[in-house]
Amino acid sequence: MKIHALTTKEVFRSLVTSGQGLSEEETERRLHEFGLNEISEVKRKNLPARLLDQFTHFLALVLLFAAGLSFLSEYLRPGEGMLTLGIAILAVVFINALFTFIQEYRAEKALDALKKLLPFFVTVIRQGRERELPARHVVPGDLILLTEGCKVPADARLITTADLKVNHAPLTGESEPVLRNHEPYQGEFAESPNIVFAGTTVVSGSGKAIAFATGMGTEFGRIAHLTSSIDAGLSPLQKELAKATRIAAGIAAAVGLFFFVLGFLIGRSFWDNFIFGVGITVALIPEGMLPTVTLALAMGSQRMAKRKALIKTLTSVETLGSVTVICTDKTGTLTQNDMTATTVWADNSICEISDTLPEAAQDVMRAALLCNNARVIDGNYKGDPTETALLKAARKVLDDMPAERLFEIPFDADRKMMTTVNTVAGRCFIFSKGALEKILSLCTHILIQGSRQTLDENNRKHVFETYHALMDKGLRVLAFAQKRPENQGPKDSWNKEIETNMTFLGLIGLHDPPRPEVPEAVEKCRQAGIRIIMITGDAGRTAAAIAREINLVHGAPFVIEGQELEQMSDGTLRKTLSEQETIFARMAPKHKMRVVSLLKEEGEVVAVTGDGVNDAPALRKADIGISMGIAGTDVAKEASDIVLLDDNFATIVNAVEEGRTVYENIKKFLTYILASNIPEAVPYLAYILLRIPLPLTIMQILAVDLGTDMLPALALASEKPTPGIMKKPPRKRTERLLSAPLIARAYLFLGPIEAVACMFGFFWVLAGSGWAWGTATVLNDPLYIQATTACLTAIIITQTANVFACRSRDESFFSTGFFSNRLIFLGIAVELLLQLFIVYHPLGNRIFSTAPLSPEAWLVLVPFAFVLFFAEETRKFIFRRMKT
């Protein structure tokens, strides 16, 4: 018989388990037999294959073709230097491939490590006790508890259900939730309503189910096996850079071709022109730029993880930096989610919750105890913090009572209430709890001095006055009602209609203090030009009181409640948002979605927090969806881009700071790398236009691009956040990474200074030995070799100063903290060692066609580093003055 057609008893028998769940020994055994409950990852390409990929992309193929041509010409016309060129080009391809491969590998490893930080837990019953364990440890036969928002860990057969609705979208693409039940079903297995599948999520209600397939044995596992892994895709920044790299490569090729043709016009030989054209193309291609950016993003996400923000997609790192509005909920994010029920109001009297309470207050506590889904597992309270606080308070006040839950209409963020049917000492009670407006609208009576009296206008007024007074203290207030059904009809017919003619019992106030770090984070956002909009399910007055406590608002903010929002046109809402400090209270998830959409239409970059199932659409809609790692449901975590491991608002602000830093750092190292392109290109121009010997060889250019520049660039990528970074307004959506000011600074200011230095070095050495204009030099002339060495040395020396200049765009080096980035010094040390090797070691001399320089040469070149450094300081000074 198929599992869906069996009765509960038969299910237990066929999976050799019971209502008490499996024993620990048995689960051990089954874990051994069936393996961990996980989908084995679709195999990535193996390392050699991935390394090979680096040689087969377009750019690599072009270069390999050029190398092939060089070898061919060496064969046809030996001794013209084509062999060196061929080898040099091959070296470029190899070094670039290896570098890209290593960077990507490291970035990938970093992201894998981050993924592991987010385990996925489930609650099961084993040996009669509830246990929370990682979903990977679920075995066939396990009795799983399903609650709203959780992800189903295995294919399982339901044995009890309470209004259980499941979203099958991951399996079928159908996003409408489907109602499940636990009755045996005689139809097709795939359509059976008593089966839940791994990977789907519980949208509402609750239930218990017995797992019958785990890991690759589940439906999801089978599908995963068929499809390949989802391509993470490139982030907009990476796309922008890939485009920039392609454009740069295109320009390089065009420039190469231009010089090739120009050479003919001025009467050079074909091979001279060929070497030259290929050389300049290779020199201008920005090798290594893309992988360095990827690595910078990955390093950024690692730093964010250390600060408790887990980035799920690399894209988010940069988007975070441009956030202009944060829509945040209150409970748990701005507040500690450490609730304590402090006050109870019943029968016209208010009291602090203590061991001895008047009878009317005890009635309220009884409703709080029984209309409650929090549980005590191994002495620890588990469940929703509101309910946990109520359970704790009620257990303190009430004696144990024989009670049983018969039926439940679960809590729903739209209805803002829940209802249960219980028997207490053999008598049937219906209890409801939730937002006062909802509860009171269901009540016709109120309990006064132990008797049930009609609820009149006076009573209502009084209830609301107390409610407002409690909320103004920042308390979260829940209302309670009950009913003693005379004749409720059969259980099958129970539904929301049982929530009528109820008797109002009273209110409980819960205290949830703000997180201590939040006021500072709020201030930081204010300085950073980021607006914070509170969107909470809680009531307006509580929200406003908390907002005042954390300095989010001063005085009386404009509070819009859910119902008002529904009446409001988009135009009015827009106007209100732009003119006033606004708080959104009593918001249902659909309202949140509307606010987010509107803000996005206004051109804002919106980050939104959410924890519930219904928050998923808003999390997806936002530019950055942020879910809560502790209190969030699996659904919210899946829909979000970032998971806050500590649920803390201040963490969002830290992540924004990191996001801004990553972006700034990428700009810093791009300026650094691009600047050296100019002193690399000018010697070639001079060679053609001034008809002088070639001042810099291709190998020497590569020594800079793929050697000495690399580590300092990486060091710039790991700069710490600068003090002013959260004092600037967010960057504009339209701002490009390779912006005009960046290109101007690199190409028209820093680059030219370096170019002057390198050309000066070249001529200084040549002139010192009596060289005159128009004199031909031979390639192996020691004088010529020394002159090119001086040219190369000048570039490296000025780049050393440039690292310091690039640490900040506007701030003086002297205010950036000399030792705040030690990697810079390591980078420079390696750069200089490499340079010494190139200039003084025989092997370096052989590879790069260099010769040792005299001490005077250094004395002549080093001042250029100071020239560059102080020119930048002056520019920054003028820039700062102009800004103020």
Interacting residues with ligand ATP (CB under 6 A): 329-332, 384, 386-387, 411, 413, 416-418, 433-435, 476, 478, 536-539
Taking the C-alpha atoms of residue 276 and residue 268, their distance in angstroms, rounded to an integer, is: 11
Residue 434 or 514: which CB sits closer to ligand ATP?
Answer: 434
Q: What are phi and psi of 855, to 5 degrees?
A: -55, -35
Q: Cα(865)–Cα(750) distance, rounded to whole angstroms?
A: 11
Look up residue 107 and give its amino acid: A
Closer by beta carbon to ligand ATP, 331 or else 700: 331
Q: How far is the CB of 37 from ligand ATP (least distance, A)?
A: 30
For 256, residues 6+ apart whose C-beta sits below 8 A from its C-beta are 277, 278, 279, 280, 281, 284
What is the Cα gyration radius of the chain? 35
Based on CB atoms, which residue is closest to ligand ATP, 192 or 542?
542
Which of 142, 155, 163, 329 is flagged as catalytic? 329
Least distance (Å) between residue 477 CB and ligand ATP = 7
Pick between residue 435 and residue 797 the one whose CB is nearest to ligand ATP. 435
Which CA distances in Å does 559 have to 177, 437, 793?
A: 33, 17, 66
Q: How many CA atoms lie within 13 A of 159 on its CB side?
A: 25
In terms of CB distance, is 66 or 413 closer to ligand ATP?
A: 413
Write down the least CB distance from residue 397 to ligand ATP, Å. 19
Q: CA–CA separation, 487 vs 430, rounded Å? A: 12
Q: Which amino acid is at 754?
A: E
Least Cα distance to 596 among 554, 557, 631, 565 occurs for 565
Do residues 277 and 262 touch, judged by C-beta distance below 8 A?
no
User: What residue is closest to ligand ATP based on CB?
Assistant: 537
User: What would the two tokens of residue 547 be?
Assistant: 């907002």
Handedness of CA 670, 675, 677, 678 (dihedral sign): positive
Residue 675, CA distances (Å) to 55, 96, 858 in order:
27, 20, 21
- Smallest gap from Cβ 539 to ligand ATP, in A, equals 6
For residue 844, what is the enclosing H or E element? helix 842-848
Ramachandran angles phi, psi of 21, nearest 5°: 80, -175
> Which is nearer to ligand ATP, 275 or 543 (by Cβ)?
543
CB 504 within 8 A of CB 446: yes
Q: How far is the CB of 795 from ligand ATP (least distance, A)?
A: 57
The phi and psi torsions of 607 (rounded to 5 degrees) equal -105, 135
Which tokens hold the place of 425?
A: 């000492």
Task: Using the CB atoms, write b or e for 480-509: b if 16+ within 10 Å.
Answer: bbbbeeeebeeeeebeeebbeebbbbbbbb
Residue 329 falls in the annotated catalytic set: yes
Between the alpha carbon of residue 573 and those of residues 189, 220, 564, 580, 599, the distances in Å are 49, 43, 10, 10, 10
Q: How far is the CB of 362 from ligand ATP (least distance, A)?
A: 20
- Minimum gap (Å) between residue 467 Cβ and ligand ATP: 11
Q: Give dist(CA 713, CA 295) in Å, integer.
A: 12
Tokens of 463: 């209830």
Token pair belonging to 479: 């209302």
Q: Give the max Cα distance, the chain.
A: 117
Q: Return the number of the residue (96 or 482) whose C-beta is nearest ligand ATP.
A: 482
Amino acid identity for residue 367 in this structure? A
Q: What is the dihedral of CA 481, 587, 508, 468, to 10 degrees?
A: -110
Query: Minimum Å distance from CB 434 to ligand ATP?
Result: 4
Q: How far apart are CA 671 and CA 664, in angstroms?
A: 11
Both tokens of residue 63?
Answer: 């270069």
Please report, for residues 10, 202, 636, 813, 820, the alpha-carbon distance to residue 817 in angstroms, rounded to integers and kept in the order given: 72, 52, 41, 8, 5
Q: Cβ of residue 421: shortest distance to ligand ATP, in angstroms?
A: 15
Q: How far is the CB of 543 from ligand ATP (least distance, A)?
A: 8
Place of tokens 């239409």: 601
Alpha-carbon distance values, 302 to 108, 194, 309, 645 (Å): 11, 43, 9, 13
Residue 187: CB minimum distance to ligand ATP, A: 36
CB-count exposure of residue 184 (10 Å: 0-12, 13-18, 19+): middle
Q: What is d(CA 534, CA 583) in angstroms, rounded to the nearest whole number? A: 5
Active site residues: 329
